[in-house]
Homo-oligomer: A and B are copies of this chain.
Amino acid sequence: MFEARITQGAVLKKLVEALKELVTEGNFDVSSTGLQLQAMDSSHVCLVSLALREDGFEHFRCDRNMAMGIHFQNLSKILKCAGNEDTITLKAEDNADQLTLMFESSNQDRISDFDLKLMSIESEHLGIPDQEYSAEIKMPSSEYQRIVRDLTSIGDTVLISATKEGIKFSTSGDVGTANVTLRHNTTPEKPEEQTIIDLKEPVALTFALRYLNNFAKATPLAPVVKLSLTKDLPIVVEYQIGELGAVKFYLAPKIDDEDQMGEDEAQS
């Protein structure tokens, strides 16, 4: 059987809220080491990779590896019934066709249990090679969210350019053009307010703003986001979820010929 207990249920709520727009359905792959999810978004343009470590849970037990097919909108409906302070326990029998979610309020006066029907989803786990990146940028996740949201009101694609001095986001559209620059800045005392640029070589890549915006739904999970950029490779947008694990979003850059294509999001 599988059983995982997390005291801060709010994390699970935020996680599913972050993913449910992008991922319609996907497998929770559970094993003795934790819980993993790898899924393409519904338009098959970007990839989401989630890994939660077993030692990040208050209690974790998994007797047999299992793939539990999750419909994310349905899981979201159930998690909305959990209070932010509730302890959440996930439970499933081996080969079960349902996942049980138990919510306990802190004073234990209210106990809720929900059975979510599981789906059978075919999927293959892609091996994502470890990679050296030309530029790795850590910045406040709220700043990232704001910039991609703002630029989405101006244009469809964004050119992200990283140099030693800073990271620049540029777009253009009917309204005009826009450039937002964040400087490398380690002066704020709180690490989560710093902008840190770790550069091997300057890099400039173009991405569809729509997806970068979607990734920003993970902002409530972490105060810092890390962007990793290398020429011709997908950008990685990564949020560390405390000690529990991380969620990473991958999106391929637009190649030059496609810059003119506007809404057409064909991939290289």
Number of copies: 3
State how many angstroms separate the Cβ of A150 from the closest Cβ of chain B.
Answer: 4
Question: Which residues from chain B contact A78 at a C-beta distance below 8 Å?
Answer: 154, 175-176, 178
Question: Which residues from chain B contact A179 at a C-beta distance below 8 Å?
Answer: 112-114
| Alpha-carbon distance A174/B151, docked complex (angstroms) | 39
Known contacts A80-B150, A150-B80, A154-B78; is-contact A176 B110 (Cβ 8 Å) = no
State how many angstroms separate the Cβ of A38 from the closest Cβ of chain B.
Answer: 24
| Alpha-carbon distance A147/B52, docked complex (angstroms) | 30
Instruction: Check A176 against B109 for contact (C-beta < 8 Å).
Output: no
| Alpha-carbon distance A175/B78, docked complex (angstroms) | 8
Tell me which residues from 190 to 227 in chain A have a Cβ below 8 Å from any Cβ of chain B: 195
| Alpha-carbon distance A122/B57, docked complex (angstroms) | 63
A117 at the A/B interface (Cβ < 8 Å)? Answer: yes
Instruction: Check B77 against A154 for contact (C-beta < 8 Å).
Output: yes
A81 at the A/B interface (Cβ < 8 Å)? Answer: yes
A180 at the A/B interface (Cβ < 8 Å)? Answer: yes
Closest partner residue, chain B, to A183 (CB atom): B109
| Alpha-carbon distance A153/B151, docked complex (angstroms) | 35
Closest partner residue, chain B, to A195 (CB atom): B109
Query: Number of A interface residues, CB 8 Å?
Result: 34
A24 at the A/B interface (Cβ < 8 Å)? Answer: no
A143 at the A/B interface (Cβ < 8 Å)? Answer: yes
Question: Which residues from chain B contact A154 at a C-beta distance below 8 Å?
Answer: 77-78, 81, 114
**Residue of B81, B116, B180 touching A112 (CB-CB under 8 A):** B180
Looking at A71, A108, A174, A178, the one whose CB has the most chain B CB atoms below 10 A away is A178
Known contacts A74-B175, A77-B153, A78-B154; is-contact A180 B110 (Cβ 8 Å) = yes
List residues of A whose CB falls within 8 A of some B CB. Answer: 71, 74, 77-78, 80-81, 98, 108-117, 143, 150-151, 153-154, 174-183, 185, 195
